[in-house]
A and B are shown apart, each in its own frame.
Chain A
Amino acid sequence: MSPTAMAHALNAGLRRAMEDDDRVVLIGEDIGRLGGVFRVTDGLQKDFGDLRVVDSPLGEAGIVGSAIGLAMAGYRPVCEIQFDGFVFPAMNQIVTQLAKYRHRAEGRASLPVVVRIPVGGGIGAIEHHSESPEAYFAHTAGLKVVCPSSPQDAYDLVRQAVRSDDPVVFLEPKRSYWRKGELDLDAVPAPVERARVLRAGDDVTVVTYGALVPVALEVARICAEEGRSAEVIDLRCLSPIDDATILDSVRRTGRLVVAHEASRTAGLGAEIAARVQDRAFYSLEAPVQRVTGYDTPYPPSRLEEDWLPGVDRVLDAVDRTFEH
């Protein structure tokens, strides 16, 4: 156990996955000699060779499309898309092929492909480098979508994603790449599809994932000072969603705030709110609150601090749940 940054934990997880199974192949732009623009694959090409860590031509459709073919040939490819806003040229392959293939093949064949994508804002970036595209993927049947918030989860989830026979869209909150946390390389990982209660509480539930997890924990700390007990749930797996953990919490607290960086309309928060009102309506003391990015394109970075859901906006939402 030692404090490790998420980027290093991901590197360790990928290295372990490649050691465990020699059919794991990484494909992406600049992931070999450079080690990726975030250095997540640093040193892997040197140690595993250029047939297993492939510096691809520039072409996201080619990255995902060739990964599909590799999977058909019995390999377990892990794609790296360089930035969230660059995944869209690959959307045809992801939506029409990767997600649908098992269904088309009537369950006879699966595509064990992982598509890693750095996501989210808060890093002062230019356009297309701060987006949160998770709802597109969560809306697409046949994909699993995960998003770790800690180095340990990143390490565990990336290894589990590689072992999954279903395709996995693996979202890496880039704001969290260099946050350190404890990492145990041999810990027994939690099931992929299980949300995690990071802090227990009785008065209000805050559900979030990725880079907003530390924000939610800070909110809970402040709530405690104000005499309110907030439960914080890290969703981890965005598709399928672990309803049971959320519902169990909301049935106790009666209040729910969902926070994500992605735009509000038709986002994950809407889905969670819909499920909670459907299945825990009589437990609710107040309407479900969403704290999200706004329904605009991601703004110029000088405006992002106020655009992104931060501690104050989440606290305001918590307050609103107590107004009823």
Chain B
Amino acid sequence: MSTEPLSLLAPDGTFTAHAGPAGPAGPFGPAELRALHRDMVMTRRIDTEAIALQRQGELGLWPSLLGQEAAQVGAGRAATPRDVVFPTYREHGVAWCRDVDPVSLLGLFRGTTLGGWDPASNNFQLYTLVIGAQTLHAVGYAMGIVRDGDVGTGDPGRDRAVLVFLGDGSLSEGETNEAFVWAAAQSLPIVFFCQNNQWAISSPYSVQSRVPVAQRAQGFGFPGVRVDGNDVLACLSATRDALDSARAGNGPTLIEAFTYCRNPHTTSDDDGRYRSGSENDAWAARDPIERLRRHLVSSGAADAAHFAKLEAQERALGERLRTGCRALPDPPPDSSFRNTYVDLPAELAGQLSEHTEFVAAGQEDAR
């Protein structure tokens, strides 16, 4: 198989049409191109603001996605509202595409919640921190879709699929490999979207595997597709094709979006200890947002007034994130007790009383 990734948009912004399994990808209309650009710009603003909030002590931690905006927006916009999305903990751009309030992404990292949104309301599941665990949940959900009869009917209002995100590190987890086995054996409507950002904290991809990510799908018996992860159009096209195929009942696809996270693993990490700045510079030159901006300008799809308006929207989002973060309420002290089981067991009720008295006494002492 070719390891040359599918690319539609060159780093200089030149567009080249490419025929995929579902026909030629593109041309993309100017409105769609502007929308994708806006999604990436807003995603980056969420990331930048969150890092600043972490530096100011408002967040305990933030996993940055800098450089992965195209992969996330391309894949995120390929899914329909009826498709179900399972993220890792870095899918801030996908969350944006699923209309999850960006402020609610901050709660997990501020310590006000371990989730932050209703997993059912946007078909966007909660962030999963244990690497690879969500791949099996995605498989189970896809089994549910099969049992609902919502696959292969040909009715676009009915057929749906699961889009699950994973990283290069998760490919070494047993659970991810089990998910591949299950998805293949049952020909499930599922797309595995792997952002290969080449580093699992300090472990380079060479620690995980000796073959490209996409090639691994072959051994499990389903297609693997390699795309330029910094090309939002390639990511969108490949994911649309794969989701169409899944919804039609043709089984799973593994997409490898070859990309690079230009920030350390999280705000707690120090990537100067394990990788070079020159690698980072090379990937900065392949920036996903800049390349689409160039295309928008050269194709005349957007003018200066458009970019000025976008900048204002971006600033407003930043302000909303800063205010919203500080306004996130602390959870009620009894929330953990009440959310562990449907009904509070007697022993836990006793522990809650003990805790409530302790907290009240502390507040009394503070007065």
Q: Enumerate A59-87 residues with CB–CB distance to B below 8 Å.
A: 59, 61-62, 64-75, 77
Residues of B within 8 A of A166 (CB): 341-342
Nearest CB in chain A: distance from B66 CB, A: 26
In the complex, are the beta carbons of A70 and B336 less than 8 A apart?
Answer: no
Residues of A within 8 A of B143 (CB): 25, 54, 66, 69-70, 73
B312 within 8 A of A: no
Q: Enumerate B293-344 residues with CB–CB distance to A below 8 Å.
A: 331, 335-336, 338-342
* Number of A-B residue pairs having CB atoms within 8 Å of each other in the complex: 142
Q: Enumerate B172-188 residues with CB–CB distance to A below 8 Å.
A: 174-175, 178-179, 181-182, 185
Nearest CB in chain B: distance from A187 CB, A: 23
Identify which of A52, A57, A106, A164 contacts B339 (C-beta below 8 A): A106
In the complex, are the beta carbons of B339 and A72 less than 8 A apart?
Answer: no
Of the listed stretches B5-13, B17-25, B36-44, B133-141, name the one at the interface; the rest are far from the partner chain.
B133-141
Nearest CB in chain A: distance from B106 CB, A: 15
In the complex, are the beta carbons of A69 and B133 less than 8 A apart?
Answer: no
In the complex, are the beta carbons of B141 and A73 less than 8 A apart?
Answer: yes
A51 within 8 A of B: yes
Identify which of B118, B340, B347 contacts A103 (C-beta below 8 A): B340
Q: Which residue of B lies closest to A97 (CB)?
A: B133
Residues of A within 8 A of B175 (CB): 61-62, 65, 92-93
Q: Enumerate A145-177 residues with CB–CB distance to B below 8 Å.
A: 164-166
Identify which of A66, A68, A142, A243 contacts B182 (C-beta below 8 A): A66
Residues of A within 8 A of B346 (CB): 240, 243-244
Q: Enumerate B120-138 residues with CB–CB distance to A below 8 Å.
A: 120, 125-126, 128, 130, 133, 135-138
A284 to B346, alpha carbons, bound, how many Å?
A: 23
Q: Which residue of A lies closest to B121 (CB)?
A: A108
A200 within 8 A of B: no
Give the interface centre of B175, B331, B346 by most chain A CB atoms within 10 Å.
B175
A92 to B136, alpha carbons, bound, how many Å?
A: 12
Q: Enumerate A91-147 residues with CB–CB distance to B below 8 Å.
A: 92-93, 96-97, 100, 102-110, 141-142, 144
In the complex, are the beta carbons of B178 and A69 less than 8 A apart?
Answer: no
A184 within 8 A of B: no
B148 within 8 A of A: yes
In the complex, are the beta carbons of B140 and A240 less than 8 A apart?
Answer: no
Residues of A within 8 A of B144 (CB): 69-70, 72-75
In the complex, are the beta carbons of B118 and A108 less than 8 A apart?
Answer: yes
In the complex, are the beta carbons of A68 and B126 less than 8 A apart?
Answer: no
Give the interface centre of A70, A72, A77, A96 by most chain B CB atoms within 10 Å.
A72
In the complex, are the beta carbons of B114 and A103 less than 8 A apart?
Answer: yes
Q: For this complex, into which size category does the number of interface residues on chain B fall?
A: 35 or more
In the complex, are the beta carbons of B336 and A103 less than 8 A apart?
Answer: yes
A288 within 8 A of B: no
In the complex, are the beta carbons of B137 and A69 less than 8 A apart?
Answer: yes
In the complex, are the beta carbons of B338 and A65 less than 8 A apart?
Answer: no
A63 to B122, alpha carbons, bound, how many Å?
A: 26
Q: Enumerate A227-271 residues with CB–CB distance to B below 8 Å.
A: 240-241, 243-244
Q: For this complex, into which size category does the number of interface residues on chain A fall?
A: 35 or more
A300 within 8 A of B: no
A25 to B141, alpha carbons, bound, how many Å?
A: 13
B115 within 8 A of A: yes
B267 within 8 A of A: no
Q: Which residue of B lies closest to A240 (CB)?
A: B345
Identify which of B126, B130, B136 contacts A105 (C-beta below 8 A): B126
Q: Which residue of B lies closest to A74 (CB)?
A: B144
A297 within 8 A of B: no
B145 within 8 A of A: yes
Residues of A within 8 A of B128 (CB): 97
Q: Which residue of A lies closest to B116 (CB)?
A: A106
A193 to B349, alpha carbons, bound, how many Å?
A: 15
In the complex, are the beta carbons of B119 and A65 less than 8 A apart?
Answer: no
Residues of A within 8 A of B348 (CB): 240
A3 within 8 A of B: no
Q: Enumerate B339-362 residues with CB–CB distance to A below 8 Å.
A: 339-342, 345-348
A254 to B167, alpha carbons, bound, how many Å?
A: 59
Identify which of B114, B181, B335, B342 contacts A165 (C-beta below 8 A): B342
In the complex, are the beta carbons of A96 and B119 less than 8 A apart?
Answer: no
Residues of B within 8 A of A89 (CB): 174
Residues of B within 8 A of A165 (CB): 342
- A109-B140 CB under 8 A given contacts A62-B178, A96-B133, A104-B126: no
Q: Which residue of A lies closest to B347 (CB)?
A: A240
Q: Which residue of B lies closest to A71 (CB)?
A: B140
Give the interface centre of B113, B138, B143 by most chain A CB atoms within 10 Å.
B143
Identify which of A107, A141, A144 contacts B338 (C-beta below 8 A): A107
Residues of A within 8 A of B181 (CB): 57, 59, 62
In the complex, are the beta carbons of B133 and A109 less than 8 A apart?
Answer: no
B146 within 8 A of A: yes
Give the interface centre of A52, A59, A66 by most chain B CB atoms within 10 Å.
A66
- A65-B130 CB under 8 A given contacts A92-B175, A103-B340: no
A304 to B357, alpha carbons, bound, how many Å?
A: 48
A69 to B138, alpha carbons, bound, how many Å?
A: 6
Identify which of A59, A61, A73 contacts B145 (C-beta below 8 A): A73
In the complex, are the beta carbons of B126 and A57 less than 8 A apart?
Answer: no
Residues of A within 8 A of B336 (CB): 103
B33 within 8 A of A: no
In the complex, are the beta carbons of B115 and A67 less than 8 A apart?
Answer: no
- A109-B119 CB under 8 A given contacts A62-B136, A68-B137, A97-B130: yes
What are 20 A-B residue pairs whose CB atoms fall within 8 Å in the complex?
A57-B182, A64-B136, A65-B136, A65-B137, A68-B140, A69-B140, A70-B140, A72-B125, A73-B141, A73-B147, A102-B339, A104-B115, A105-B115, A105-B339, A108-B119, A141-B340, A142-B340, A142-B341, A166-B342, A244-B346
Q: A69-B138, A97-B137, A100-B114 are in contact. List 6 more A-B contacts (CB 8 A).
A: A59-B181, A69-B140, A89-B174, A92-B133, A92-B175, A166-B342
B-side residues, CB < 8 A to A, are 84, 113-115, 118-120, 125-126, 128, 130, 133, 135-148, 174-175, 178-179, 181-182, 185, 331, 335-336, 338-342, 345-348
6 closest residue pairs by CB, A with B: A69-B140, A65-B136, A73-B144, A66-B140, A240-B345, A62-B178
